[in-house]
Structure 1
Amino acid sequence: MRKSALTLLLAACLPLAALAQAPVRYTVAFPNAVHHEARVTVVFSEVPAGPLQVRMARSSPGRYALHEFAKNVYDVQATNSQGQPLTLTRPDPYGWDVSGHDGTVRFTYTLFGDRTDGTYAGIDQRHAHLNMPATLAFARGQEQRPAEVKFDLPTGWQVATQLRPDAAKGTYYAPHLQYLMDSPTSLGAQKTRSWQEQGRTIELSVLHEGTDAELDDYTAQTKKIIKEAAAIFGGLPQYDFGRYTFVANYLPQTSSDGMEHRNSTSLTSARPLRGAGALDNLGTVSHEFFHSWNVERIRPRDLEPFDFERANMSSSLWFAEGFTQYYGDLIMRRAGIFTDEQYCQEALSGLVGAMLNSPGAARYSPVQMSQQAPFVDAAAAIDPNNRGNTYLSYYYIGGANALALDLLLRQNHKTTLDAYMRAMWQQHGKGQANYAPEKPYTLADLQRVLGEVSKDTAFAGRFFRQHIMGHELPRFEELLAPAGLLVRRTRAGQASLMARVAYNPADSSATVGSTLIGSPLYQAGLDRDDVLRQVDGKRLTSAKALTELLAAHKPGDVVPVEYRTRGGIRTAQVTLTEDPTLEVVPYETAKRPVTRAMQKFRAEWLGSKAR
């Protein structure tokens, strides 16, 4: 028998654990939490000869811009298996090269974090909300190794995470770096509600200052959302460890955010779990839970796998985020959390108004808006930009096109957007391998599946050319009419400057923000930071003063405006326009008759699918 064959035979007889690579072991402690610090230790074992390249992530799953998490890391040290110091060098701002090791590197650092949201790390004496790319260093070449994380918890703190717990070791497990970095973790005095839904464990792990009764009511509403979301796809995903966790932080020091992950979602808000706060927070729950299908499993090819060392650009965020935006609110209506009137006010008015009034939406496509994410998704820059005239968020442009497509399918093709999402799930989401989709989709896949569901490939091609690759605006007035919903001017007949201004009490002037293409001030040649000294001979002392001035005029009136610009004091003749703000209202609100056909259409669209 040849040696190579003998080696294979012996390997086959060894236990699986003996063949597995040594895990990367993390310990996270909080000796100085009151000052927002954690002490993190990473042990890399069985390291190949040569320098070990240790890095902090530069980007984070669900965020597409660079965030440079290394900026909050200091007091870095490295030792070998004997505790002897190792040489550290900085090849770039994002990491460290460790030389002279003996196959083991014990890498230790202090992390500062004081922003509790879906991107960063927030640490204080009450809690730690840890986004893993902002918290844990990794080593190049070891991305496929499993990870074990141990949290040294202050008294009274518990762990909420999608990482798999190992009670015997007191650690939490991730199969590889992609899963580890996708696993936000909340540490604190958790209040947990757990239940079974379709054979899966769903749990809400919450930090908040409210009552248990408020959390119980919030849980009951969350259950309705889960049932309605599952009804769209015909069931829940197979969560990898049989569990889905809402990692929720509703303490006063948090920043409002929601961030989807494979088997969990990070929810942060300073708003309480009652009244308007609960409604707002539930909207985030609905949006993020829909992501456990759309973007986490139905995933665009250009985001798979996620790269932690660069900005990640996708051409499909109009679908991944925009269609999720549409469904997040639609699920709230179907669950009975919104009434028809609230759904129109909270969801449809925003989508329709943004789409029809945005200069950017009339110039650029949803694909192009998606490609802007690295510059706009919580990206930081100090120079002025012209996004008011060139950009509409892929949440809104995608959500508005989802609305239009749903109505087109219902009216002309005897099918629905629900059917389209189910088909995408069956073809590009349900099959998973190694905690990732087997068949991530392309733009061509999205068009092809639409043709199959509508049974009209010409329609699918036309819709994509005009509305997805192109920037033709949907005709919402026609599309919404069969549901007995009306698009109208919110302040019909009222004159407007279409301007955002900041008032300067010291001299009763007002500083103009960026002016929008087509607006009265833009047309008259005024620009950002110009100062309005007088409008129609009157000083602008407050918002009330401007409102009263405009109320004395009608659209089409021409008023003199004296302003200070970079070239000095100028006067322009400004033609007022009608206030462009739009709203969607039920015919009932507008005192219009509602036919039985309209009621039926609306009920089939907005009614519960879980019953």
Structure 2
Amino acid sequence: MHKIATSLLVALAISGAALAQAPIQYSVAFPNAVHHEAQVTVVFSDLKPGPLQVRMARSSPGRYALHEFAKNVYAVKATDSKGKTLTISRPDPSGWDVTGHDGTVRFSYTLFGDRTDGTYAGIDERHAHLNIPATLAYGRGLEDRSAQVRFELPTGWQVATQLRPETTANTYFAPHLQYLMDSPTSLGVQQVRTWQEQGKTIELAVLHEGTAAELDTYADQTKKIVREASAVFGELPAFDFGRYTFIANYLPQTSGDGMEHRNSTSLTSARPLRGQGAIDNLGTVSHEFFHAWNVERIRPKSLEPFDFDRANQSEALWFAEGFTMYYGDLLLRRANILTEDQYMKELTTIVNSMVNSPGARLYSPVQMSQQAPFVDAAAAIDPNNRVNTYLSYYTIGGANALALDLMLRQKHQTDLDAYMRAVWQQHGQGQQNFAPQRPYTLPDLQRILGEVARDTAFAGQFFRTHITGHELPNYEELLAPAGLLVRRARPGQPSLGFLDLTFAPQGATIAGSTLVGSPLYLAGIDREDVLLKLDGKKLKDREALQKLLKKHKPGDVVPVEVRTRAGVRTVQVTLAEVPSVEVVPAPTATPEQLAFRAAWLGSKVK
């Protein structure tokens, strides 16, 4: 073949390939923001003949249940490149098929959104906080195409997002659908604090009603968290566009949430940036920033790539979320944001939840992780028995992270930081096309634990016993070398068990299931039963119940008159000691124990 002809064919082939990958173009405007609406237009061009399948996501990265975002989309229209109205059909609840196009489809719709959090879209005259799966429709078969998003902003609003800015004002780029959907965006009057860390730009973009001084202090605390997290792994991730953004919305109408993303995090809370509100908000900052390594780049194979058409189940959320929960609080202590007493309260919560959960004795962290599609903000109206069968993968994972850290420090001359660094080096550092090169499996995590501990038998036993098994760690023994006691929080006080009671003149209604093994459970009393009398006295309010209980001691048998579905009866209930435990410093801690505690909880920033 002639050389010129060959060159021409190659050029045409390249040109054709470029056309086939024409970017998806989005426009988002807010002409009716006061009524929580956005107008969204999507232009799909250079399409192949045949129907275009347009869909809204059913799930969202970082969430594991179905959310059916199409329910908030209406006034759908579609035209071709010449403005001709196209035929739209509705093949399923989450999407629309568009036929008769000329290679271009201009798809437009109205989006309603009035929940400002990490999952949905919150729109009003002050701001728009957009989770992209809840906001932007996409075309099936076009997932590899890049996208350009243009925001038509009300006066004074700015954009906070991990999307790459384009040269055109208020226009942003995503390399493909996975990155686009992982890119939350906040629009409003941003207050921004920016600094450099290890040659990378970290920015805190905030909507709030507080003072500039409060934000300055908050930014300083955030810097400490960033440095302590980096110290665990030995480095910051290579943020894809050289920048990491804390996208924070702290307005009064905001729902509390935190949602991790590859180069940013969505932070939402109605709490102010002062006092306890600031500390609570910083807890979310700490947790979510740790995710920049753990779950965003150190990613379970079961979640990669994320599927927007279904609930995404993973066996590894005990590690992805639970170990991150453990470090979220630990980093606050190391950064001296939490005092030692405050950190003891966090340890008390996690240990107390673990040792008093019937579910933790039934199911392993792996099995709890697999329950996420049913519990991760999933909506259902039928009652369940999760109080007896479930413990959050956050809690059960965090409790096992605590146990493993202490085991490694006491018996293997290493620690959980070293383990996390090893997992990072083997399964997180290598990235390609904005995704991990080597997502991990459970055998990978066990193998690396054996390498770090230099004890493969220990690693196998730990996973069999505590991760795929459900044996509880012995926290009393594990915390003792740090000079910490695990003890009964209210020794000698009698109890009917952990109860959610609603009081009325006729008695106390049990709102949820009674806990397995509790006094009322053993007496055959359950949810929706009404406690009428104890010791022959009416239970008008919580104070009356507590006064009656104080007359007894654990082990006493007391008559309880109760109305059940079978009628009114009196049963004999054996009172038990209040089961709550607490973690407190031992008053006689030795220098060795104090040194152990300092090495564990002290700053790692050099």
Structure 2 length-normalised TM: 0.98
Letter in 2 for 1:101: H
Letter in 1 for 2:546: T
Give 5+ residue unaligned stretches, structure 2. Answer: none
1:214 alignment partner, SS class: helix
Letter in 2 for 1:573: Q
Equivalence for 1:41:
41
Equivalence for 2:133:
133
Equivalence for 2:115:
115
Equivalence for 2:598:
603
User: Quick one: distance in 2 between partners of 1:258 and 1:5?
Assistant: 57
- Taking the TM superposition and a 5 Å limit, the aligned residue runs for 1:271-310 are 271-310=271-310
Letter in 1 for 2:36: H
Contact 1:41/1:106 (<8 A) preserved? yes
- Taking the TM superposition and a 5 Å limit, the aligned residue runs for 1:181-220 are 181-220=181-220
User: Quick one: distance in 2 between partners of 1:10 and 1:512?
Assistant: 71
Equivalence for 2:369:
370
User: Quick one: distance in 2 between partners of 1:7 and 1:548?
Assistant: 93
- Taking the TM superposition and a 5 Å limit, the aligned residue runs for 1:507-586 are 507-586=506-585
User: Quick one: distance in 1 between partners of 2:383 and 2:168?
Assistant: 54
Contact 2:39/2:108 (<8 A) preserved? yes
- Taking the TM superposition and a 5 Å limit, the aligned residue runs for 1:200-349 are 200-345=200-345, 347-349=346-348
Letter in 1 for 2:588: P
Equivalence for 1:24:
24
User: Quick one: distance in 1 between partners of 2:551 and 2:36?
Assistant: 55
Letter in 1 for 2:600: W
Q: CA deviation at 1:513?
A: 2.6
User: Quick one: distance in 2 between partners of 1:441 and 1:7?
Assistant: 44
Q: CA deviation at 1:546?
A: 1.2
Equivalence for 2:401:
402
Q: CA deviation at 1:3?
A: 9.4
User: Quick one: distance in 2 between partners of 1:309 and 1:48?
Assistant: 22
Deviations 1:577-601 (A, max 9, x none): 00011111111xxxx2111100110
Contact 2:166/2:173 (<8 A) preserved? yes
Deviations 1:157-183 (A, max 9, x none): 000000001133541000000000000
Contact 2:23/2:145 (<8 A) preserved? yes
User: Quick one: distance in 2 between partners of 1:387 and 1:491?
Assistant: 26
1:126 alignment partner, SS class: coil
Contact 1:340/1:586 (<8 A) preserved? no
Residues 1:430 and 2:429 aligned together: yes
Q: CA RMSD in A?
A: 1.6
Contact 2:56/2:94 (<8 A) preserved? yes
- Taking the TM superposition and a 5 Å limit, the aligned residue runs for 1:6-17 are 6=6, 10-11=10-11
Contact 1:510/1:540 (<8 A) preserved? no
Q: CA deviation at 1:145?
A: 0.3
Deviations 1:428-471 (A, max 9, x none): 00000000000000000000000000000000000000000000
- Taking the TM superposition and a 5 Å limit, the aligned residue runs for 1:14-163 are 18=18, 21-163=21-163
1:402 alignment partner, SS class: helix
Q: CA deviation at 1:549?
A: 1.3
Residues 1:472 and 2:467 aligned together: no
Letter in 2 for 1:297: R
Letter in 2 for 1:585: V
User: Quick one: distance in 2 between partners of 1:21 and 1:358?
Assistant: 52
Letter in 1 for 2:303: L
Identity %, equivalent residues: 73
Provide closer, same or farther for how the CA distance between residues 430 and 542 of structure 1 changes in structure 2, counting only shifts above 3 A.
same
Q: CA deviation at 1:13?
A: 10
Equivalence for 1:389:
388
Provide closer, same or farther for how the CA distance between residues 235 and 8 of structure 1 changes in structure 2, counting only shifts above 3 A.
farther
**Greater mean deviation of Cα atoms: 10-19 or 191-200:** 10-19
Letter in 1 for 2:474: R
User: Quick one: distance in 2 between partners of 1:272 and 1:373?
Assistant: 30
Q: CA deviation at 1:2?
A: 7.7
2:537 alignment partner, SS class: coil
Q: CA deviation at 1:551?
A: 1.3
User: Quick one: distance in 2 between partners of 1:14 and 1:50?
Assistant: 23
**Greater mean deviation of Cα atoms: 302-311 or 539-548:** 539-548
User: Quick one: distance in 2 between partners of 1:34 and 1:606?
Assistant: 48
Q: CA deviation at 1:537?
A: 1.1
Q: CA deviation at 1:18?
A: 4.3
User: Quick one: distance in 2 between partners of 1:425 and 1:465?
Assistant: 23
User: Quick one: distance in 2 between partners of 1:165 and 1:90?
Assistant: 35
Deviations 1:540-571 (A, max 9, x none): 11111111111111110110000011101111
User: Quick one: distance in 1 between partners of 2:111 and 2:418?
Assistant: 46
User: Quick one: distance in 1 between partners of 2:58 and 2:138?
Assistant: 12
Contact 2:507/2:530 (<8 A) preserved? no
Provide closer, same or farther for how the CA distance between residues 220 and 523 of structure 1 changes in structure 2, counting only shifts above 3 A.
same
Q: CA deviation at 1:492?
A: 1.1
Contact 1:499/1:521 (<8 A) preserved? no
**Greater mean deviation of Cα atoms: 506-515 or 435-444:** 506-515
Q: How many residues align?
A: 606
2:205 alignment partner, SS class: strand
Provide closer, same or farther for how the CA distance between residues 85 and 430 of structure 1 changes in structure 2, counting only shifts above 3 A.
same
User: Quick one: distance in 1 between partners of 2:303 and 2:509?
Assistant: 44
1:479 alignment partner, SS class: helix
Provide closer, same or farther for how the CA distance between residues 436 and 5 of structure 1 changes in structure 2, counting only shifts above 3 A.
farther
Contact 1:509/1:539 (<8 A) preserved? no
Q: CA deviation at 1:20?
A: 6.9
Deviations 1:218-257 (A, max 9, x none): 0000000000000000010000000000000000000000
User: Quick one: distance in 2 between partners of 1:221 and 1:374?
Assistant: 34
1:217 alignment partner, SS class: helix
Contact 1:318/1:399 (<8 A) preserved? yes
Deviations 1:384-431 (A, max 9, x none): 001000000000000000000000000000000000000000000000
Letter in 1 for 2:133: P
User: Quick one: distance in 2 between partners of 1:16 and 1:417?
Assistant: 52
**Greater mean deviation of Cα atoms: 548-557 or 420-429:** 548-557
Contact 1:509/1:534 (<8 A) preserved? no
Provide closer, same or farther for how the CA distance between residues 12 and 408 of structure 1 changes in structure 2, counting only shifts above 3 A.
farther
2:314 alignment partner, SS class: coil
User: Quick one: distance in 1 between partners of 2:384 and 2:7?
Assistant: 63
2:142 alignment partner, SS class: coil
Deviations 1:355-407 (A, max 9, x none): 11000001100000000000000000000001000000000000000000000
1:466 alignment partner, SS class: helix
Q: CA deviation at 1:6?
A: 2.4
Contact 2:159/2:170 (<8 A) preserved? no
**Greater mean deviation of Cα atoms: 336-345 or 387-396:** 336-345
1:248 alignment partner, SS class: strand
User: Quick one: distance in 2 between partners of 1:323 and 1:332?
Assistant: 15
Letter in 2 for 1:115: R
User: Quick one: distance in 2 between partners of 1:513 and 1:62?
Assistant: 28
Provide closer, same or farther for how the CA distance between residues 2 and 287 of structure 1 changes in structure 2, counting only shifts above 3 A.
farther
Equivalence for 1:174:
174
Equivalence for 1:420:
419
Contact 2:152/2:170 (<8 A) preserved? no
Q: CA deviation at 1:19?
A: 6.4
